[in-house]
């Protein structure tokens, strides 16, 4: 099995799924302006390294508190249709197709929770999908994450666990390709054979140049005029 691994936010998707989810809920009147501003601040502080991952992902998990998967399904479908699909560039889909045509096994590995990113994974037609899981009690989301967060070294741990469950050797990961935009994925980029940084943040671009990793830039045009009109501000 030849793996092609892909990050989601700011890699295949032009944007951050969690922040977009909060903007989407705000437009529907399901969260207030104060919570939306906290989302903006949280994203900024996380990027600056002043918020730990557990607090960051629990904050976004809190938008599901008390809800059931069934109740969230119509929202998830609308979010995918109106907010996510228009932000997946043709270049990203073409990249996936090239690996598909080469016979690779496509794996989306994202820190974003299952509620927010599962339908995106299905829309991208990846073979496997690893994400941050959310805690449920009595069929309702508690507003907290569950298990190992799929971020930083957690991405490596979760992939190794997944390979073990499939009965595949650990060297499968060492022979893989991985595409990401973020310095948060440095651990995984460092263990694969072919690390590719995609429209990287400044810290990752500097690291990639130093290590001699490939740097890929996608055409992130917003598509048709119809799609552009649908994009919320």
Give the chain's domain count.
1
Residue of 9, 16, 23, 185 marked active site:
9
The enclosing domain of 146 has a CATH number of: 3.40.50.1000
The active-site residue, picked from 7, 16, 23, 104, is 7
Tens of pLDDT along the chain (233 residues) come to 899 999 999 999 999 999 999 999 999 999 999 999 999 999 888 878 889 999 999 999 999 999 999 999 999 999 999 999 999 999 999 999 999 999 999 999 999 999 999 999 999 999 999 999 999 999 999 999 999 999 999 999 999 999 999 999 999 999 999 999 999 999 999 999 999 999 998 889 999 999 999 999 999 975 433 333 333 33
Residue numbers of the domain that contains 93: 3-230
Is residue 9 flagged as an active site residue? yes
Is 23 one of the catalytic residues? no
Segments in the chain forming alpha helices (H) = 17-27, 33-47, 53-61, 69-79, 90-101, 114-124, 153-166, 171-174, 186-189, 202-211, 225-230
């Amino acid at each position: 099995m030849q793996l092609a691994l892909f990050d989601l936010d700011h890699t295949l998707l032009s944007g951050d799924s969690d922040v977009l989810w909060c903007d989407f809920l705000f437009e529907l009147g399901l969260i207030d302006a104060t919570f939306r501003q906290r989302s903006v601040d949280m994203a900024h502080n996380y990027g600056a390294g002043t918020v730990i991952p557990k607090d960051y992902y629990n904050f976004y998990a809190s938008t599901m508190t008390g809800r059931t998967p069934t109740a969230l399904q119509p929202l998830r479908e609308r979010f995918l249709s109106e907010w996510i699909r228009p932000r997946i560039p043709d270049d990203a889909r073409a990249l996936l197709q090239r690996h598909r045509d080469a016979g690779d096994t496509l794996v989306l590995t994202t820190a974003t929770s299952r509620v927010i990113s599962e339908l995106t994974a299905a829309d991208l037609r990846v073979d496997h999908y690893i994400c941050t899981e959310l805690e449920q009690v009595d069929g309702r989301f508690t507003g907290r994450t569950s298990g190992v967060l799929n971020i930083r070294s957690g991405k490596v741990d979760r992939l190794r666990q997944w390979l073990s469950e499939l009965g595949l050797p650990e060297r499968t990961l060492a022979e893989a390709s991985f595409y990401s935009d973020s310095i948060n994925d440095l651990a995984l980029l460092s263990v694969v054979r072919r690390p590719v940084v995609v429209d990287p943040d400044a810290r990752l671009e500097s690291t990639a140049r130093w290590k001699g990793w490939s740097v890929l830039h996608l055409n992130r045009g917003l598509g048709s005029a119809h799609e552009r009109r649908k994009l919320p501000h």
